[in-house]
Structure 1
Amino acid sequence: MSILSTENLGHTFSDKWLFKDLTFGLQKGDRIALVGINGTGKSTLLKIIASKIIPQEGNVVFSKDIKVGYLDQEPDFTGLLTIADFIYTLNDAVQQLIRAYESMIHSPNPDQQKLEKLIDQMTVTDAWNIEQKIKTILTRFDIIDFEQKIANLSGGQKKRLALAKLLIDDPDIYILDEPTNHLDIETIEWLEKMLISGQKTLLLVTHDRYFLDNVCTEIKELHQGKLYTYKGNYSYFLEKKAERALMDASTLEKNKNLLRKELEWMRRQPQARGTKSKARIDAFYDLEEKTKNSASTASLDLNVKVSRQGNKIAEIHHLSKAYHGLNYINNFSYIFKKGDRIGLAGKNGSGKTTFLNLITQEIKPDQGQIILGETTKIGYYKQGGFPFQTNQRVIDAVKEVAEYIIMEKGETISASQLLTHFLFPPEKQFGLIEKLSGGEKKRLQLMRILMDNPNFLILDEPTNDLDIDTLNILEHFLMDFPGVLVLVSHDRFLLDKLTNQLFIFEKGKPITIYNGNYSDYRLTEETKKNLFKEIPEKTIIEKKDRTLDKKKISFKEKIEYEQLEQEINTIEAQIKNKTKEMNQTTDHQLLIDLSKEIEQLTTTLDQKSNRWLTLAELI
């Protein structure tokens, strides 16, 4: 039985129907992702289902006493002063009790009698478990100072605060619009585990392809005002969508052939003749509309020219930068080479954006220097977007950069033609930027940067708000990009595909360089943890006894020790190869098989590594 259902939903934007006659339901435990290109109405549909806006047609029906939680892309905190005002719901007696207790224990001179009374009430209402849950979730999102003013928070901090509150409240239905934006990778992986526990019901929009695979069990694609349902995760969706695209192409070709015949029939008929079949005329116009809609599907083209790059690209010498006494960059040196594809990994606040601002010389280092080559041309895609006037038209924002642009093969095209390449049709080109969706604004920002033909591309969270189709095109462009790429992204899929080297940031520690992509790095870290697990006490005593007895290693054990070294190297290489194979396939069954093989290999690696450590102790 559905706990939520929509009935013939329809909504318009700027005199155009986003969707019409949408009917579907949510069952308890469903984990559904809504996908589609920017501007199709995904966020609008979520707002309608969350009762934030009223649809122009149809309605949404909920089962009795269903509690819905909604995460907006830009959460609203109107009327709230501090974090505590938002976290502790006014009409929730237990949460208000916890707030009173927290306020009392942080008071310089608490009233002991009142405090004891609060402690008793906390025990009676079982508020201690809820308090622990609240603190665990908030700490995970780096929310510590509950009296901090909400107005002083950044956009990313506000989004994390809203998501934390949603997890604390644990509604019956989670409606999430881009939940992974502004989260670091470790927090995303933790969030995945939270959302798949306890049979939660989810309806979400996200561009994170690993997140879709790990969390969602059903995909709904919003395409040209209609919903297409795929029972499976994202990998399954890709497979079935490709099949549907082939069928659509075949149907389109048949419709075009039929339309030509019907058009000839329409032309042959005398204008005043009354015997013409009305049904056939209606069928002609219906076919014409279908063919026109199918043919209107465009594709994004990112083939802009890249500036020539000399031998000297950029050099970093003994770079240091500190804030409030904490070193974020400490005596770091690196010489960029042609073809460098570097990902920056680390928790939020560890210094990644500071590092990018130092490279682009937007801020000055405390020590050291950055030397750019004479031909190096940096393109910097920032998280915050670019500023624009509220009354500025899309085409004017492009013409600010250039009236004409040189493409990859040398041809010159106008700003208007380039906008069409980037999926901005004429009606949007002459519309106001403020009317664009969040993803369309990001796509416009990316276009402005690429127009300048950079050969050193810096992308700071480029995936935020972009639809998956645009991400796939961006990914293919960046794979072929001949210049230097420096990428900050919480999108593990993108990091795996596009980088072969990582700069690892840890707050207060020097930057470390890792050769490999993100999955390689995580696998290495997990292997290290397994290698250095705490050895059981019995094993420790046995090793001490052997040391005291000065037992020598036997010839057979020496041979075993040498063989184990080779076997461990072979298994590590196998795990690495199979991980790469996983990153390069979308075959659902193959992904499952590879995952099982990697799990078995990791178990074998642990066993052999422990034996190797035992023999190493003897030597």
Structure 2
Amino acid sequence: MSLIKVSNLTFAYDGSYDNIFENVSFQINTDWKLGFTGRNGRGKTTLLNLLLGKYDYKGSISASVSFEYFPFHIARKDFNTLDVVQDIVPDYQHWQLMRELSLLKVSEDVLDRPFDSLSSGEQTKVLLAALFLKENSFLLIDEPTNHLDIHARKLVGDYLNTKSGFILISHDRAFLDNCVDHILSINKTNIEVQKGNFSNWWENKQRQDHFELAENEKLRKDIKRLSDAAKRTGNWSHEVEKTKNGTRNSGSKVDKGYVGHKAAKMMKRSKSIEQRQHSAIEEKSQLLKNIENSDSLKISQLAYHKNEMVELEHVSIRYGDKTVCSDVNLTVQRGERILIAGPNGSGKSSILKLICGEETDYTGTFRKGSQLKISYVSQDTSQLQGNLSDYASHNEIDESLFKAILRKLDFSRLQFEKDMSSFSGGQKKKVLIAKSLCENVHLHIWDEPLNFIDVISRMQIEELLLEHSPTILFVEHDSEFCNNIATKVVEL
């Protein structure tokens, strides 16, 4: 056991006018299973890169262990998988590799296949097995669950739960609960480390948020009372001062010295109250420092003239010589929230693309309602570049509404000025979701919408779908989201 100590860390990217971190200090134990959470764009991957020594920074990072980052960069994906593993861990013991693959339920024959012929889930598991062959290293695991199906996530979570000595970035609540014993959170103004899993941390955060909100309300009332009192006292001293040059009701002259003294005394009291007011305002600025903006989102679907929107009967889809799914039966009716589930490679995305009108080689019966308008969120965000205003104009959506939704999803106004190509993976996914929410359609089709998206934004999207009950067909592997949202599950 040893400690990793971060002291007064300050960092900004070259050419950037805002710091990612400013005077951040914390320490972590190298035996922990540490979950790492925070909203998109707060610097989770950046912090891992700082630990790896990739950037210059102010402050200090001290550790008696080396760091290893996951996912590994694979230069030649056409190589056999065993060669890929050997490039990552040249001095590995074969029996140790077999042990790790067995724990991950990966058959030995994958080692003799080209790495790029493996499914994304198999690739992730093989690379995790290689990662845990690295001895005397603290492991930095960056979002391993993306594109893993629900069953694979459970398996990988169980695997990580048998390990220790890592930082794990993930936005999947159930996954984090399954395999971490501490949480490192990047908040709005600081970084905190807490013992427990994600649910423990979230419960503590809600308790702290409620306390801060109650204190803020109490202080707001105090400030109003002090402000009113200061105003009244200021008026009194002003009225008294006006009588200095007047006369008493009895006709005798006013004692200007006495009146001036009284006015000065009241003015002093007014100033004292004003100072208290400023102190209270200053105190207020210390509150709500880590309350996250999680305002509710809205969606307004067009009303469709029929109850039934889409129907598939005994549909099979082929790509070349390969059948990706067969004998699929699916009906989408107004108001349903349908999850298409199944292992990776079972044809979930192919079904969505067929419904969206993409040219697809299929057999069976496929019917889509006349004049049905669909909004589609794809897995791929690589096409996003340029500024948000041009993107809104090109897609013919209301720019003000589009940016208002992004603000609610924790975009800063500074972010609006940047090129979308510089956005994090989660921020790019939020752009696609915000666009979809702005479109006037009858049916929303979302393909793994939550990849890279932070936990709080996931909860906002959940609340949106539960409150407004739009018709939606979706593929997603976040088990908690699926359990909360789906009114019907179609298993491939």
Match of 2:396 among 399, 402, 407: 402
> Could you give the per-residue CA deviations for residues 529-578 of structure 1, whole angstroms, max 9, x where no partner exists?
xxxxxxxxxxxxxxxxxxxxxxxxxxxxxxxxxxxxxxxxxxxxxxxxxx
Q: Partner residue of 1:30?
A: 32
Q: Which has the higher contact order (CA 8 A, sep 6+)?
A: 2
Q: Does 1:61 align with 2:62?
A: yes
504 and 137 in structure 1: CA distance in 2 versus 1, 3 angstrom threshold = same
Match of 1:211 among 156, 168, 175: 175
SS at match of 1:383: coil
Q: Partner residue of 2:74?
A: 77
8 Å CA contact 1:394, 1:428 repeated in 2: no
SS at match of 1:144: helix
Q: Partner residue of 1:179?
A: 144
Match of 2:445 among 458, 461, 483: 458
300 and 43 in structure 1: CA distance in 2 versus 1, 3 angstrom threshold = farther
480 and 142 in structure 1: CA distance in 2 versus 1, 3 angstrom threshold = farther
SS at match of 2:12: strand
Structure 1 residue 398: deviation in Å? 1.9
250 and 90 in structure 1: CA distance in 2 versus 1, 3 angstrom threshold = closer
Mapped partners of 1:61, 1:295: distance in 2: 27
Question: Match of 1:202, as an amino acid?
Answer: F
RMSD: 3.6
Mapped partners of 2:367, 2:479: distance in 1: 30
441 and 287 in structure 1: CA distance in 2 versus 1, 3 angstrom threshold = same
Structure 1 residue 499: deviation in Å? 1.3
Q: Partner residue of 1:578?
A: none
Structure 1 residue 443: deviation in Å? 0.5
Q: Partner residue of 1:46?
A: 48
8 Å CA contact 1:440, 1:466 repeated in 2: yes
Match of 1:361 among 357, 360, 366: 357
Q: Partner residue of 1:591?
A: none
For structure 2, the residue ranges without an aligned partner over 5 or more in a row are: 235-270
Question: Match of 1:499, as an amino acid?
Answer: A
Structure 1 residue 442: deviation in Å? 0.9
296 and 167 in structure 1: CA distance in 2 versus 1, 3 angstrom threshold = closer
Q: Does 1:347 align with 2:343?
A: yes
8 Å CA contact 2:3, 2:28 repeated in 1: yes
Q: Partner residue of 1:322?
A: 318
Q: Does 1:87 align with 2:46?
A: no
Q: Does 1:428 align with 2:415?
A: yes
Mapped partners of 1:258, 1:295: distance in 2: 22
Q: Does 1:478 align with 2:465?
A: yes
Mapped partners of 1:193, 1:417: distance in 2: 40
Structure 1 residue 136: deviation in Å? 3.7
SS at match of 1:366: strand
Q: Partner residue of 1:307?
A: 302
Structure 1 residue 467: deviation in Å? 0.5
Mapped partners of 2:109, 2:49: distance in 1: 26
SS at match of 2:449: coil
Mapped partners of 1:292, 1:248: distance in 2: 6
Equivalences for 1:109-120 in 2 at 5 Å? none
Q: Partner residue of 1:224?
A: 188
8 Å CA contact 1:12, 1:19 repeated in 2: yes
229 and 212 in structure 1: CA distance in 2 versus 1, 3 angstrom threshold = same
90 and 486 in structure 1: CA distance in 2 versus 1, 3 angstrom threshold = closer
8 Å CA contact 2:4, 2:29 repeated in 1: yes
8 Å CA contact 1:308, 1:375 repeated in 2: no
Mapped partners of 1:131, 1:33: distance in 2: 25
Structure 1 residue 418: deviation in Å? 4.7
Mapped partners of 2:26, 2:286: distance in 1: 26
Q: Does 1:503 align with 2:486?
A: no
SS at match of 2:333: coil
213 and 139 in structure 1: CA distance in 2 versus 1, 3 angstrom threshold = closer
Question: Match of 1:216, as an amino acid?
Answer: V
8 Å CA contact 1:310, 1:373 repeated in 2: no
Question: Match of 2:166, as an amino acid?
Answer: L
Structure 1 residue 155: deviation in Å? 7.8
Mapped partners of 2:382, 2:76: distance in 1: 28
8 Å CA contact 1:67, 1:171 repeated in 2: yes
161 and 357 in structure 1: CA distance in 2 versus 1, 3 angstrom threshold = farther
77 and 326 in structure 1: CA distance in 2 versus 1, 3 angstrom threshold = closer
Equivalences for 1:232-243 in 2 at 5 Å? 232-243=196-207
Q: Partner residue of 1:250?
A: 214
Q: Does 1:133 align with 2:135?
A: no
For structure 1, the residue ranges without an aligned partner over 5 or more in a row are: 96-126, 269-275, 406-412, 506-619
Q: Partner residue of 1:382?
A: 378
> Could you give the per-residue CA deviations for residues 498-530 of structure 1, whole angstroms, max 9, x where no partner exists?
11332222xxxxxxxxxxxxxxxxxxxxxxxxx
Structure 1 residue 226: deviation in Å? 0.3
8 Å CA contact 2:97, 2:130 repeated in 1: no
TM-score by length of 1: 0.64
Equivalences for 1:593-604 in 2 at 5 Å? none
SS at match of 2:436: helix
Structure 1 residue 472: deviation in Å? 0.2
Mapped partners of 1:501, 1:170: distance in 2: 45
Q: Does 1:10 align with 2:10?
A: yes
TM-score by length of 2: 0.79
Structure 1 residue 289: deviation in Å? 9.4
SS at match of 1:59: strand
Q: Partner residue of 1:393?
A: 387
SS at match of 2:360: coil
Structure 1 residue 435: deviation in Å? 2.5
Question: Match of 2:489, as an amino acid?
Answer: L
8 Å CA contact 2:223, 2:281 repeated in 1: no
